[in-house]
A and B are shown apart, each in its own frame.
Chain A
Amino acid sequence: MTTGPARSIDHLRRKLLMLSALVEESARRSVLAMRGKDKLAAGAVVRSDAEIDTLEIAIEEDCVALLAQPPLRLEDTRVIVAFLKINTDLERIGDLAGNIARHVEDLSVHEQALLPADLLRMADAALAMLRRALDSFVEADVSMARAVCAGDDEVDALNREMYQLVQQRIMENPAMTGRLLNVLGIARHLERIADCATNIAEVVVYIDSGSIIRHGRNPLPPESAP
């Protein structure tokens, strides 16, 4: 069903959902590896990125092929364009999960090191946003999608706090700088996963209403966020 080039929008949608499953699992694994400072698990996340990239390229080609098949109704075109956007965001989340995993590989040397509670909270919040964004896509639930967009501020705030915390700890204990920079890196990537989840939620709203909310609602476009 999900192998081979997509013949219909439904088929394409299923492939995209498959990619979303891969990416969400990858993100979860990276956070799980972070919690356990598990080098092996982190390595598995880094390696899984190749599979995500392959599927992303296949989906993009399918989208282009479907767009080249007239006659297409306006709604169909909009859906395919939306799929393209979600596809890109998913691939980016896959990359970010890989980046987190690389930081975890570095961190795992310090087995006894404790992670800041805020980092764990950030990870939970970002994963929850990703899950809800994908749920809103599956269920075509616009109100859930809007709620996801609204939740981005919390992760942004946590990220800023993390930045200050790391700055302060480095000043207190310069020997821990390397370790703390890894923590900061993870926080930044988590924040960008939350941004990508927000993008996906915005596309869900776009599919439903055709209206583009991304620049109206967010004072900062996701790409230029810290």
Chain B
Amino acid sequence: MLTLLGVAVMVLGFLIRINPLLAIAVAALVSGLAAGLSPEAVLAAFGKAFRESRYVSLVLLVLPVIGLLERYGLQEQARQLISRLRTATPGRLLLAYLFIRQAFASIGLTAIGGQAPMVRPLIAPMAEAALGESATAKARARIRAFAASADNVGAFFGEDIFVAVSSILLIKAFLEQSGIVVQPLELSLWAIPTAVLAFFIHGTRLLLLDRRRSTLYPQK
């Protein structure tokens, strides 16, 4: 039970807004010590896991190319493309992106999309451009946040429909250890109702961004 102190450190660190990197170091130490590990053992365990988790940082390597293209006007071109479309609104545009992201993820193509390669250089500037030039900074920020949300919701609730995704394989392996055999296809089938609801719930909220545009985001 004492190991939960590590979780408490993270929550406390978040509440008092200490730098999360420091909070993580303290939380790992507290949890490890509470579990009876020596400080050296905690350091080694943390180092091993840090090395094995290097793959999560690889996505940072798209930044040099994206940054270079931005210097040559990628975001401006994305804006330009959308401002020519009279019918484009932020809500409709993000709804279309949510659909594409979720559809590709559901056939295993999670690589199409992503926050650094897609949302920052293309989707967010397009959605902002659809808002119109006179929109306030607050309205623009809100639209950018929703652009990031469309990518996350689409990816999370699309990928589980694909039979060979890691979450499905994890479920299958776990149930097998308990003597229950399920087919991956069954698991992906039962992910469909939630996927459909996720699309309707988040899609409705995206379209509501347009409806409330005049009241919530007064043009300056």
- Same complex for A and B? Answer no
The interface of chain B, by Cβ under 8 A from chain A, is none
